[in-house]
Amino acid sequence: MLRGLWAYRGFVLGSVKREFQSKYVNAMLGAVWSVLSPLAMILVYTVIFSEVMRSKLPGHSSSAAYSIYLCAGILTWGLFAEIVARGQNMFLEQANLIKKISFPRICLPIIVVMNALVNFGIIFGLFLVFLLVSGNFPGLVFFAIFPVLALQILLAIGLGMVTGILNVFFRDVGQFVTIAMQFWFWLTPIVYPATILPESVRPLLAYNPMAAVIQAYQAILVEGRMPDWNAMIPAFLLALLLCILGLRLFRKRSGEMVDEL
């Protein structure tokens, strides 16, 4: 599988480049929109939530604390949601390519992840500039983000592969996941701190794998401290399980998928 990916690395990189270019091919400002759109979103979060609503986190006196908290959750959740959404439709969207060209089908999840990372890299890069300019950069602890990011990508692509394969045979799966993701977002402490939840409800967050991941980002970017690595062990085990299940389903059903498509 790895040899196949390496042999088709040009195909993967070319697909990522074509998709990025296709978004702005007829736009007068071109790729500038890839910067303006996320910049506008960060400004909206900062102005509306920090200045207009005067929302503040408990224990944080900075007026920018809540906007950083919000961006840390929403931007990283956006990466997770994009990979899952694209993953569940990747085989359907590339049906013509799958039926006409022989290539390692495992390239498709890699293309999905790389496309999502390009979009995430642009908007998160602007967010880092905001942290530096506002004097809220967390310092060396920032590098703890990378293992958290790797875990999130592993969880997202595992879920995306499983639902993507099932969606080929049962189209209701895609509709169900889309609705489930909306509930999942609000059941994760992204726009609200977990401390506002009733004491009887907080233990239930342990059953939400994305809660530990998002709280890790928030600990690093808002509080400037290391996340609770032990709290992310269930999410890591679930990510491995989903990836293994996705690969097994892919190997067993790849032939049937082509016929179904």
Residues 134-147: tens digit of each pLDDT: 888 999 999 999 99
Residue 66 pLDDT level (bands cut at 50, 70, 90)? confident
Query: Which two three-digit tokens encode residue 67?
Result: 């906007």
Phi, psi (rounded to 5 degrees) for 57: -85, 145
Q: What is the pLDDT of residues 155-188, one digit of tens each?
A: 999 999 999 889 888 888 888 998 999 999 999 9
Backbone angles phi, psi at 188, to 5 degrees: -110, 135
Write the DSSP assignment of 193-248 as a string of letters. Answer: -GGGS-TTTGGGGGG-HHHHHHHHHHHHHTS-S---GGGGHHHHHHHHHHHHHHHH
- Given a cut of 90, whether residue 217 has pLDDT beyond it is yes
Model confidence pLDDT, tens digit, residues 24-57: 666 555 556 666 766 777 677 767 766 665 556 7
pLDDT tens-digit series, residues 69-125: 888 998 899 899 999 998 888 888 777 777 766 667 778 888 899 989 988 988 898
Confidence of residue 150 (pLDDT cuts 50, 70, 90): very high
Tell me which of 30 and 68 has the higher pLDDT: 68
Q: What is the pLDDT of residue 201?
A: 86
Q: What are the boundaries of each domain within the chain?
A: 2-260
Q: What is the pLDDT of residue 20?
A: 75
pLDDT at 27: 57
Size of the chain, expressed as the number of residues it contains: 261
pLDDT value at residue 100: 67
Best CA proximity match to 109, nearest among 158, 76, 48 = 158
Rounded-to-integer distance, Cα 61 and Cα 96, Å? 55
- Would you say 114 and 92 are in contact if contact means Cβ atoms under 8 Å apart? no
Note the pLDDT of residue 50.
63
pTM of the model: 0.87
SS3 breakdown of the chain: % helix, strand, coil, rounded to 5? 80, 0, 20
Read off the pLDDT band of 261 (50, 70, 90).
low
Most confident of 99-113, 121-135, 231-245: 231-245
